[in-house]
Chains A and B, each alone.
Chain A
């Protein structure tokens, strides 16, 4: 890993630490209350705050996970050069697209 990848990975980590704490709290709350799909969507649809929260979470997770995967592929998969870059960028793009689609599905009115 070089300095720029390091900064992106640790930066997104620091950003996600509070986000993940809130997300865990949401999980505990939603399962405790036994929320139905209708309950959940009633809270999230049209909510700018949830859109921003989970939009940022998805973007940070996509960056963080693709760099982490890149390191693992290099160290344990012995991948190098262009194959390594392509694999990690592809995974990051997959997470970003699926994630933003999921956020849109839950927050768009």
Chain B
């Protein structure tokens, strides 16, 4: 069929894809997150065991990815709310890039502090 390619090379399109992908990833992560915290119902020892497991560097790296996803989804969502609710501003591409860069910076900061 007629395949389009050009429109997906735009940064705004990539930002929208990142927003969707990060939302999906966070939605998939949340039930696990909640199950782990639910361990505290059976006493703090269980939760403590889990927290010590998360000290492993690989797990910390995964947490850094989660920080990036949460921050990217937050900032991407704020930009969307701005587009939808405030009178139009140009420079959305720059704003989207700034949001993604800030999310990366936050995740990097997190990793530097915990590793």
Direct chain A–B contact by Cβ atoms under 8 Å? yes
Interface of A toward B, CB cutoff 8 Å: 10, 13-14, 17, 20-21, 23-24, 27-28, 31-32, 36-38, 40-41, 58, 61, 65, 68-69, 72, 91, 94-95, 98-99, 101-106
Number of cross-chain contacts by CB at 8 Å: 88
Told that A31-B63, A31-B114, A65-B26 touch, could you supply 5 new A-B pairs with CB distance under 8 A?
A28-B110, A65-B23, A91-B27, A102-B33, A103-B37
The closest CB in chain A to the CB of B54 belongs to: A31
**With A and B bound together, what is the CA distance between A17 and B76 in angstroms?**
11
What interface size band does chain B fall in? 35 or more
- Which residues from B are CB-within-8-Å of A94? 31
**With A and B bound together, what is the CA distance between A106 and B50 in angstroms?**
14
Summarize A's interface: helix, strand, loop or mixed: helix
